[in-house]
Amino acid sequence: MTFLEMLQGAQERNGSMLCVGLDPEPKRFPGALKGDAGRIYDFCARIVDATADLAIAFKPQIAYFAAHRAEQQLEKLVAHMRSTAPHVPVILDAKRGDIGSTAEQYAVEAFERYGADAVTLSPFMGFDSVQPYLKYEGKGAFLLCRTSNPGGDDLQNQRLGSIEGSPLLYEHVAKLAQGPWNLNGQLGLVVGATYPVEIERVRAIAPRLPLLIPGVGAQGGDAAATVRAGWRADAPIVVNSSRAILYASSGDDFADAARAEARRTRDLLAASRP
């Protein structure tokens, strides 16, 4: 099964475009877990159990584990996702980008050590920094294209060539991912929900690629506008929400509150389909 098929399967089964992002911050944990970096797995596993039938994907952000020396908890968490929700793909949000020989090591980290189904990557170092991941049949890779943060403008919105209509850098990345770089149909793109007009531009360039769209929820992106701009019947969109779900309640009911918020967001996304 390819990553794209796995994504489509979860989309249909759970009626969902919602990706549950796992950015664990112990200081924001509820009740008895609060401040305890040793309970990152416990917190995240509760969220996973509460949302597994509502999600198109899970997206652990590796920085939040690395900052707390919690790599083994991340290994255990992905194994838990695998055993309790085998139909929901796991996207390791790592945004790696390095020369080929180093990229091979990062691919081992993502796919062999953690067992992720897909990874996020930076395209800044070019094709040979992406290629090692594509050697893993059935795995996916989302390239940063137009990111949801303010600084996304600094490079990604630079125009290549000064003629009206010449592409911006992020459009160039979308073209590369749609065309020459996408050797075996494993690539997707990361496009922030904070810029629906740019999601439309990316869709015009890359109509069939899966899009990973962060920025809904705490970052303020408009869920309905995102779906209208990005949704296609034959190309999944994976709309991520992290903090709004994880920290929906600071009480012992956090898992129920996360489930309610995930359901609300899933339904809002579904209702926005054209």
Binding site for a copy of itself (CB under 8 A): 23, 61, 63-64, 66-67, 69, 71, 95-103, 105-106, 108-109, 112-113, 122-130, 144, 147-156, 158-163, 166, 169, 172-173, 176
Tell me whether residue 95 is one of the annotated catalytic residues: yes
CB 145, min distance to a copy of itself, A: 10
* Cα dihedral across residues 134, 137, 138, 139: positive or negative: negative
Q: What is the rounded distance in angstroms from the CA atom of residue 136 to the CA atom of residue 37?
A: 32
**Active-site entry in 27, 34, 76, 95:** 95
90 vs 115: CA distance, rounded Å: 8
Whether the Cβ atoms of residue 269 and residue 223 lie closer than 8 Å to each other: yes
Residues facing 238 on adjacent strands: 212
- Structure-block tokens of residue 251: 């009480």
CB nearer to a copy of itself: pick between 99 and 271: 99
Burial of 15 (0-12, 13-18, 19+ CB in 10 A): middle
Least Cβ distance, residue 144 to a copy of itself (angstroms): 6
Dig out the tokens for 270 from the structure.
């579904």
- In the complex with a copy of itself, the residue whose CB is nearer, 108 or 183, is 108
Q: Which residue number, 64 or 142, has a Cβ lying nearer to a copy of itself?
A: 64
Nearest distance from C-beta of residue 152 to a copy of itself, angstroms = 6
**CA pair distance 42, 89, nearest whole angstrom:** 20
Q: How far is the CB of 109 from a copy of itself (least distance, A)?
A: 4
60 - beta bridge partners?
A: 22
Hey, what's the torsion of the CAs at 188, 190, 191, 194, to 10 degrees? 150
> What is d(CA 272, CA 274) in angstroms, rounded to the nearest whole number?
6
Order of all β-strands in the sheet with 18-22: 57-60, 18-22, 237-241, 211-213, 187-191, 140-146, 118-121, 91-96
The least distance separating a copy of itself from the CB of residue 146, rounded to whole angstroms, comes to 10
- Which residue's CB is nearer to a copy of itself, number 31 or number 161? 161
**Closer residue to a copy of itself (CB): 176 or 235:** 176
Q: Which is nearer to a copy of itself, 71 or 200 (CB)?
A: 71
Q: 67 vs 19, 77, 186, 219, CA distance in Å? A: 23, 16, 30, 22
Name the minimum Å distance from CB 140 to a copy of itself: 19
Give the active site residues: 95
